[in-house]
Amino acid sequence: MQGKPLNEQEIGKQLLNETAYYAESSVCRRKTLLHYFGEPYNEDNCGNCDNCIHPRKRIEASDELCAAIEAIIVLKERFKTEYIVDVIGGNATNEVKSYKHHELEIFGTADGRDENFLTSVVRQGVLSGYIRKDIENYGVLKATEKGKKFLEHPEPFMVVEDKQFSDNDGEEHSGSSAVLDPALFSMLKDLRKEISQQMKLPPYVIFQDPSLEAMATTYPITLDELKLIPGVGEGKAKRYGQKFVELIKRHVDENEIERPEDFRMRAVASKSNVKIYLITGTDRKIGLDELAKDKGMDMDELLDELEAIVYSGYKINIGYYVDAVMDQDIHDDIYDYFRESESDDLQTAIDELGDDYTEEEIRLVRIQFLSDMGN
């Protein structure tokens, strides 16, 4: 995905991928968890987790890390892990071809390695501080100053190739396998279903699966902690959160689960200037076309930003703009569709609503619906 927030399904997928990485990773789990919450851990082996007790073979990968850092820089720090891996691995996907990046010198600079290994290099490059993920753009990779120095003067870089779980690896690796506490995850899903039925709302409006997985991983037991879960935010926490934190606290107490201080949640960054601009601009009821023009965006890019805001759990008011550009009947039809649908997937909505509605109309109403009902 180019330098803009991910759209519809991809936002949830990115959060789920972070949790999946935890399950698949062969790196010290303590190091991975602390890094996720912004805490440094400089030891290579904690002596406690499965990966440290049963370490795997380490492979020298300084050339591959250099290839990744160089690609990130050449591509102007606008793409996420999967795309960088495709480029340096020589995988000419339709997306890569659409940007003509298969014609660049960096294309295929690490084509002797498979996708899983290159993904491991990027992930462990992030853990080591050579690369960072832009949390405001859901996984877009940036080269750090340390990474740029490494590119100029490479040093040995040993990585452990991450595990690959196939669909046939057994129940322990399927579905919510990345969740540390699958029993709690199941209870949270049941609670979400109960609340959604009571409120006559689709379950995804309450909390999406990646948010529930994060809850089952970090055990938030107060509303302040819950607000820091990806995809929750202030509005969802106040509207739906109390029963969830009560369930989590009860589960923690009954099972004598110790919540290590090392895993304390905290805010990792403030909203970007663009997001602040859009939130304040919509509060002032400035037309979305004007906001897009001021930031040099087209409407699709602006809608991507607005979707990222509401999927992050923030409330945003675009009703004034929707009312100005859309007939009430069209608005009501689309709004009612999302109220009754089990999924917020854009393509599904386009297919089911038919040709009477444009993609832009559907996206606008979906943003309004998720902000109104979810946040």
Residue 73 banded pLDDT, cuts 50, 70, 90: very high
Asked whether residue 23 carries a pLDDT value surpassing 60, the answer given is: no
The residue assigned the tokens 């040995």 is: 156
Q: How many residues does the chain have?
A: 375
CA dihedral of residues 263, 265, 271, 275 (deg, nearest 10): 100
Residues 155 and 25 in one domain: yes
Q: Which residue has the higher pLDDT, 372 or 44?
A: 372
d(CA 249, CA 220): 8
Residues 259 and 338 in one domain: no
Q: What is the Cα 285 distance to its own chain's centre?
A: 29
CATH code (residue 295): 1.10.10.1390
User: In the predicted model, what is the mean pLDDT of residues 271-291?
Assistant: 79
* Closest by Cα among 149, 218, 145, 216 to 185: 216
List the beta strands (DSSP E) in 190-270. none
pLDDT of residue 281: 83
> At which of 245, 263, 281 does a domain end?
263
In a domain, 151, yes or no: yes
CATH code (residue 241): 1.10.150.80
In a domain, 1, yes or no: no
d(CA 124, CA 34): 14
pLDDT of residue 327: 92
In a domain, 268, yes or no: no
In a domain, 165, yes or no: no
In a domain, 287, yes or no: yes
pLDDT of residue 175: 39
Count CB neighbours of 103 within 10 A: 10
Residue 227 banded pLDDT, cuts 50, 70, 90: confident
Q: DSSP class of residue 58? A: E
Q: DSSP class of residue 60? A: E
What is the identity of the amino acid at 68?
A
User: In the predicted model, what is the mean pLDDT of residues 119-147?
Assistant: 86
pLDDT of residue 18: 57
CATH code (residue 72): 1.10.10.10
Model pLDDT for residues 295-313, shown as the tens digit of each residue: 788 898 899 889 888 877 7
Helices 182-199 and 209-218: angle between axes, nearest 10 degrees: 140
What percentage of residues in the chain have a pLDDT greater than 70? 77
The residue assigned the tokens 């409330």 is: 315
* Closest by Cα among 172, 179, 301 to 229: 179
For residue 281, give every residue at least 6 positions away whose Cβ sits within 8 Å of its Cβ, in sequence order, or none.
291
Give how far Cα 160 sits from Cα of 2, 57, 125, 129, Å.
Answer: 28, 6, 11, 16
Q: Which residues pair with 160 in a beta bridge?
A: 58
> At which of 208, 240, 263 does a domain end?
263
pLDDT of residue 168: 39
Q: Whole-structure pTM over 0.75, yes or no?
A: no
Please name the helix (run of DSSP H) or strand (run of DSSP E) that holds residue 247, with its range, or none: helix 233-254
In a domain, 185, yes or no: yes
Q: DSSP class of residue 337? A: H
Q: Could you tell me the two tokens for 14?
A: 């990115």
> At which of 128, 160, 192 does a domain end?
160
User: In the predicted model, what is the mean pLDDT of residues 116-126?
Assistant: 90
Residues 23 and 144 in one domain: yes
For residue 316, give every residue at least 6 positions away whose Cβ sits within 8 Å of its Cβ, in sequence order, or none.
278, 279, 282, 306, 309, 310, 367, 371, 375
* Closest by Cα among 171, 125, 170, 132 to 150: 125
Q: Which residue has the higher pLDDT, 257 or 304?
A: 304
Task: Report helix, strand or coil for 171.
Answer: helix
In a domain, 170, yes or no: no
d(CA 124, CA 52): 15
Task: Report helix, strand or coil for 251.
Answer: helix
Tally of domains within the chain:
3
Do residues 48 and 55 lie in contact, with contact meaning Cβ atoms separated by under 8 Å? Answer: no
Cα angle 121, 124, 127; round to 5:
155
Q: Could you tell me the two tokens for 304?
A: 């991507």
For residue 307, give every residue at least 6 positions away whose Cβ sits within 8 Å of its Cβ, in sequence order, or none.
5, 7, 8, 11, 363, 366, 367
List the beta strands (DSSP E) in the chain. 58-60, 131-134, 140-143, 158-160
Residues 13 and 147 in one domain: yes
Q: Could you tell me the two tokens for 242?
A: 């109390």
Do residues 140 and 134 lie in contact, with contact meaning Cβ atoms separated by under 8 Å? Answer: yes
d(CA 247, CA 186): 12
Which range marks the domain in which residue 313 is found? 273-374
